[in-house]
Amino acid sequence: MMKFIKSKKLGYWFMVATAILSLVLFVVYLATYEPGQFGHGHTMPNSAASYATELVWIWALFAFLAQLAALAAPEHKWLEIVVIGCIGGALFVEIQLCPTVLAALATGVAYEGGSLELHLTYLILNLLALAIGVASCFMDSIGDEEKEELKKTFAMPRFAGAAGLAGVLAIVGIVLSSSLGAAQSGPNNANDPTASSEAPAKKFAIDLQAEFGDKVDPNYTFDPTSVHFTKESNPHSEDATSAIQSAVGSSYERSDANLVYCFEGAYAEGWQGDYSKHYAYLYLWDDGLYNGESNGTKIYGYWYDTEDGGEEGATLVMVDNRGRDNDMVCSVNTSKFYKWVTEVKSTLNNGRTIKAFGYYYYPVIGFYVDPGVDYVVVEKEEDITDSITLGWTGTRVLNNLTTGSVFDAAANLRFGSKQDTDDPNVKKITATWKSYTWDTMIYIGSAPAAEEAPASPAAAE
């Protein structure tokens, strides 16, 4: 035993240390990580849902086995490259998993969840194993005499066995990474309760006319797209601030004018750990005036959307009663719902701006939830947890049957707990927005046949 120890140089013991660290990483990770719903749990942040978290312990195990192969044939230093590659695979996955958890160190806000202590442990073990493994490549592991002896003692069988094991581990690891990564990001991931395991789930679709056509108010005939002003044609462009404020008032439900545009926006500073939101709202009326508020401060003014000699609707400017520096010039927005986007000055921290988005106003007549797939299917009832609604989109329906996502859904949209239905294999979750509700059905085991499925989920005001 003493002869064996004395014959080994520092590089060999570095290889042993790499093997031990890889084994420790494998054991600790496998014992503590919790994939949970959608691939994340108490130890994993929400963003881990996009990655195959099990690859960390798989690569750590392969690194340990590859290091044993390298120790069996220490005269072949190139085998250590396979070890480093396996450790690098584990580190690559962990680097993708832990940024939001590590961000808690700087912000003090663990907004995506996950265990900071455990991820630091995973990261440190990975980095130590990688550093020591790389260092061992530049060190001798055995002396020249032992190298000569090893060449005479089962040289080919040991080399073939070590090289074969290292090669197999590398190939299997690459194949596993590709397949698990594809499965995690694909629409048919078996762990994803919003997708059927039997066939690719179709995207959610709804017949707006069939679902909400009877709720359209035929008496609301005002067309906001028909209202345009130039600066000169706006009857209030020469009015004093007091006259504008008196004319438009502070109510957002005027009886003497019709709404043309509504703007809405929110901003979170994130300064010194304060993530509270600050809001801006603007209401543009068909008499050429607007009112609203920015971070709680009331604002007033007049607006126009046509430059001299220009095309109607080619621009949109809101002249602010607080002074020229506060005037808002809008840019065209690319979304189908919001036509304009602008920066609204606020009193927050000496003039922060709040980005607000504007759309043509029509009264809201309904609301529905888009879960992203045609039918939400889970394998068993226990899969219906609070996290199942992650990614579901609340959508408002206007009187002209245009739709837009619910503004500030985190504050305004609520999902209830699962409820029973007449069918024991079907549960439902009710979403609430303002005075509207929408039931989303969740099927246990498999999606219903076309002739058995309801025409549409239940909606109620």
The per-residue b/e assignment along 161-180, b for 16 or more CB within 10 angstroms, e otherwise, is ebbebbeebbeebeebbeeb
Q: CA 172 to CA 226: how far, in whole Å?
A: 64
Q: How far, CA to CA in Å, does 411 sit from each of 83, 127, 135, 263, 438?
A: 49, 40, 52, 18, 17
- The amino acid occupying position 263 is F
Q: CA 88 to CA 62: how far, in whole Å?
A: 11
Q: Residue 213 has what DSSP assignment?
A: G
pTM to 2 decimals? 0.57
Given a contact cutoff of 8 angstroms between Cβ atoms, the answer to whether 164 and 65 are in contact is no
- For 389, the enclosing helix (H) or strand (E) is none
- Cβ-count burial of 299 within 10 angstroms (0-12 exposed, 13-18 middle, 19+ buried)? buried
Torsion over CA: 69, 73, 78, 84 (sign): positive
Query: How high is the pLDDT of residue 10?
Result: 80
Query: How high is the pLDDT of residue 26?
Result: 87
In tens digits, the chain (461 residues) has pLDDT values of 555 565 677 878 888 898 899 899 888 888 887 654 433 445 676 555 556 677 888 888 888 888 888 877 776 676 788 888 888 888 888 887 777 666 666 555 555 566 777 888 888 998 999 998 888 888 877 665 565 565 556 455 555 555 555 555 556 555 544 544 444 444 333 334 333 334 455 788 899 999 999 999 999 999 999 999 998 999 999 999 899 999 999 889 999 999 999 999 998 876 656 678 889 999 999 999 999 999 888 999 999 987 765 566 678 999 987 776 778 989 888 888 999 999 998 877 767 889 999 999 999 999 999 998 888 999 899 889 888 898 899 999 999 999 999 999 988 999 999 999 999 999 999 999 999 999 999 999 888 775 555 545 544 44
Classified as helix, coil or strand, 423 is: coil
> Cα–chain-centroid distance for residue 456?
28
Given a contact cutoff of 8 angstroms between Cβ atoms, the answer to whether 185 and 179 are in contact is no
Task: Give start and end residues of each alpha helix (H) in 322-459.
Answer: 409-412
